[in-house]
Amino acid sequence: MTKKNQHVVPHGDDWAVKGAGNSKATSIHSTQAEAINRGKEIAQNQKSELLIHGQNGRIREKNSYGNDPYPPKG
């Protein structure tokens, strides 16, 4: 399994979890909270990032579940 970042995006009246670069949704949920929970599970399993988009489609939050460098660079 590849380490694809997961995106929570609007999907009509619902919310979808999509892997980066995927055209199809991994899962579709009736609320953003449900989609975030599922996306978080996938991102933790893959040690990748979860990017949460708002209703307007813009990224509003990012959470990393990978091997981040500590201390952070910069």
Cis peptide before 72 (omega within 30 of 0): no
| φ/ψ (deg, to 5) at 25 | -75, 140
Q: What is the pLDDT of residue 9?
A: 98
What residue ranges do the domains of the chain occupy? Answer: 6-60
Q: What is the pLDDT of residue 60?
A: 97
Amino acid letter for position 68: D
Q: What is the pLDDT of residue 3?
A: 79
Q: What is the pLDDT of residue 69?
A: 65
pTM of the shown model: 0.87
Dist CA 33 CA 22 (whole Å): 21
Dist CA 13 CA 28 (whole Å): 10
Q: What is the pLDDT of residue 66?
A: 80
Mean pLDDT by 10 residues, the chain (74 residues): 86 97 96 98 95 97 82 65
